[in-house]
Chain A
Amino acid sequence: MQKATPAAIAVLTVIAGGTALAPAALAADETGGNSLHATLSPVPTNKVTGSGTATVHLQGHEATITIKTQGLLADAPHAQHFHIGAKGQCPPASAAKKHNGSLSMNTTDGLPFYGKIGASLTTTGDTSASHAALAVDRFPKGASYTYHRTLTVDEETATSLRSDNAVVVVHGIDYNGNGKYDNNLGPSDLDATLPSEATNPALCGPLKTAPAGAVAGGMGGTQDGDTMALTAAGGLLVAAGGVMYLRRRGIRQN
């Protein structure tokens, strides 16, 4: 069997010169914790055009969280939580209902998919599900923000995170596009003293285990024979004084 890979020669030749250039990477589980990623997408029917990302590193019950958002309602607080204990999914458009005559998704509509609140991702103070869930003065404000905090989660939330079942939900929409939270969708299903716009889900992303390290993407079945052939050819060319030809030919090959 003879299979050729001047490509392999090219790679070897070029890589040999500078292997130390790639940035150092910490393996996700180097510290024994869990690394999780989420992409935050607009909740369907809520007229949101924003997006974002979330990363969580969980060590025991300590969760180090980074959330980046863009395109949310400006100058407004955005409640944000880990939701847990349901399907670990974001609600599809079919979960929306008519609220005050307008098809939209309130927080309750999405519960069968993302579940109840597991932790409140406040900027300071309490992070519990029960007491801090709508502490609007302690949530990030603005269209685009970066949130970073390490907080302690309870056992149920930690377990949900580890089993790829937790979901990041960022709340606060501007359904009628008037630049503020108002009552066009009626009062909030969570707190009747707040407008529904202030608590409806805006962005949602399931947290999933981040892969770690390179992949094992080959077994060499196109390499073994080659090397013999190339070695044979190379050896003959060395004898003939033509090794540079081999190298140039190998590099040019694609």
Chain B
Amino acid sequence: MNGFRPRGRRSVHTATAIAFTTTALALLAEVALSPSAPPAPPESVLAGRSDPSREPPQGSAQPLPASRPEHIDIPEVGLSAKIVPVGTTADGAIAMPKDADRAGWYNGSPTPGEYGNTLVVGHLDSANGPAAFYRLGALRKGDRISLTRQDGTRVGFTVTRMAVHPKGDFPSRSVYAPTSQPQLTLITCADWDDSQQRYRANLVVTGHL
């Protein structure tokens, strides 16, 4: 799906020690270069640390009227997805879109271009392969994110912060805090735990106008 089709597994031949090593390196190279590898966020933001970032300027332009976001595009990392509205789950978390190829705008948050903290979530992967926010980890500070609203206007945000937070110690108050200026917060999963077969953390990307 999405053109990220993995290549077939290479069989491992064992003959001499040299062949052994060569095969290992070849397999590793294939693994490392496979286009299906989810991009990692910058090392500096892992383990709950977040990049220091300047605060957005106060008192900037007048906000746009409400109009819900319908599409997200981040050309620099090849991310392009439709956005659907989502609510919350029974335990209060932002619900995920049923279709993993779509991103979800939390319908209790402002629409992009209004004042406030616009919250958009997406799957990193489905059970079968890459999903809407698969490429989010490839973002870096300064990259541009474009949101297209139902009224046709586009609102651009610049990435100002990236952070990875453990799910069990997630700083909800700061991530979801209302803001007086337009802010975009993108959230997906990070940190695969192979023994538990689950992601242990969330990647949080923050953008400002």
- Using CB atoms and an 8 Å cutoff, list the residues of chain A in contact with chain B: 1-8, 10-12, 14-15, 17-29, 37-42, 44, 49, 51-55, 68, 70-71, 92-93, 164, 205, 208-227, 229-230, 232-234, 236-237, 239-240, 242, 245-246, 249-251, 253-254
Q: In the complex, what residue of chain A is closest to B140 when comparing beta carbons? A: A254
Interface string of B125-163 (1 = CB under 8 A from A): 111111101100110000000000000000000000000
Q: Which residue in B127, B170, B197 is a CB contact (below 8 Å) of A213?
A: B170
Query: When the two chains form their complex, are residues A216 and B191 in contact, meaning their CB atoms are under 8 A apart?
Result: no
Q: A24-B169, A209-B108, A236-B21 are in contact. Are A217 and B202 (CB under 8 A)?
A: yes
Query: When the two chains form their complex, are residues B172 and A211 in contact, meaning their CB atoms are under 8 A apart?
Result: yes
Q: A27-B92, A37-B177, A229-B9 are in contact. Are A218 and B189 (CB under 8 A)?
A: yes
Interface string of B7-51 (1 = CB under 8 A from A): 111001000010011011101101111101111111100111100
Q: How far is the CA of A3 from the CA of B89 in the complex (A)?
A: 30
Chain B positions within 8 Å of A223 at CB level: 125, 192, 194
Chain A positions within 8 Å of B201 at CB level: 11, 15, 214
Q: How far is the CA of A110 from the CA of B199 in the complex (A)?
A: 46
Q: Is B184 an interface residue (CB 8 A)?
A: no
Q: In the complex, what residue of chain A is closest to B119 when comparing beta carbons? A: A211
Chain B positions within 8 Å of A211 at CB level: 88, 92-94, 106, 108, 119, 172, 176
Query: When the two chains form their complex, are residues B93 and A216 in contact, meaning their CB atoms are under 8 A apart?
Result: yes
Chain A positions within 8 Å of B46 at CB level: 10-11, 14-15
Count, A-B residue pairs, CB within 8 A: 292
Query: When the two chains form their complex, are residues A221 and B125 in contact, meaning their CB atoms are under 8 A apart?
Result: yes
Query: When the two chains form their complex, are residues A213 and B96 in contact, meaning their CB atoms are under 8 A apart?
Result: no
A249 to chain B, nearest CB (A): 6
- A15-B47, A15-B200, A18-B48 given; name 9 further pairs at CB < 8 Å: A4-B37, A8-B192, A39-B180, A215-B121, A233-B31, A236-B21, A236-B27, A240-B21, A249-B28
Q: How far is the CA of A240 from the CA of B25 in the complex (A)?
A: 10
Q: Which residue in A29, A41, A42, A246 is a CB contact (below 8 Å) of B28?
A: A246
- Using CB atoms and an 8 Å cutoff, list the residues of chain B in contact with chain A: 6-9, 12, 17, 20-21, 23-25, 27-28, 30-34, 36-43, 46-49, 58-59, 62-63, 65, 88-89, 91-94, 96, 100, 106, 108-110, 114-117, 119, 121-131, 133-134, 137-138, 164-167, 169-174, 176-181, 187-192, 194, 197-202
Chain B positions within 8 Å of A164 at CB level: 108
Q: How far is the CA of A1 from the CA of B89 in the complex (A)?
A: 32
Query: When the two chains form their complex, are residues B9 and A226 in contact, meaning their CB atoms are under 8 A apart?
Result: no
Q: Which residue in B39, B121, B128 is a CB contact (below 8 Å) of A254?
A: B39
Q: A25-B170, A221-B126 are in contact. Are A226 and B37 (CB under 8 A)?
A: yes
A220 to chain B, nearest CB (A): 6
Q: Which residue in A25, A40, A236, A251 is a CB contact (below 8 Å) of B23?
A: A236
Query: When the two chains form their complex, are residues B34 and A227 in contact, meaning their CB atoms are under 8 A apart?
Result: no
Query: When the two chains form their complex, are residues A225 and B6 in contact, meaning their CB atoms are under 8 A apart?
Result: yes
Chain A positions within 8 Å of B62 at CB level: 42, 49
Q: How far is the CA of A164 from the CA of B109 in the complex (A)?
A: 12
Q: In the complex, what residue of chain A is closest to B108 when comparing beta carbons? A: A208
Query: When the two chains form their complex, are residues B137 and A7 in contact, meaning their CB atoms are under 8 A apart?
Result: yes
Residue from B28, B116, B134, B164 whose CB has the most chain A CB atoms within 10 Å: B28
Q: In the complex, what residue of chain B is closest to A229 when comparing beta carbons? A: B31
Q: How far is the CA of A71 from the CA of B63 in the complex (A)?
A: 14
Q: Which residue in A21, A22, A39, A253 is a CB contact (below 8 Å) of B179?
A: A39
Q: How far is the CA of A218 from the CA of B187 in the complex (A)?
A: 11
Q: In the complex, what residue of chain B is closest to A48 when comparing beta carbons? A: B62
B32 to chain A, nearest CB (A): 5
Query: When the two chains form their complex, are residues A4 and B31 in contact, meaning their CB atoms are under 8 A apart?
Result: yes
Query: When the two chains form their complex, are residues A28 and B20 in contact, meaning their CB atoms are under 8 A apart?
Result: no
Q: Which residue in B21, B39, B170, B173 is a CB contact (below 8 Å) of A214?
A: B170
What are 22 A-B pairs with beta-carbon distances under 8 A? A2-B6, A3-B37, A4-B30, A7-B37, A10-B43, A11-B190, A15-B47, A20-B169, A21-B48, A39-B116, A41-B114, A44-B65, A211-B93, A211-B106, A215-B93, A218-B124, A218-B189, A220-B197, A221-B128, A223-B125, A233-B27, A254-B137
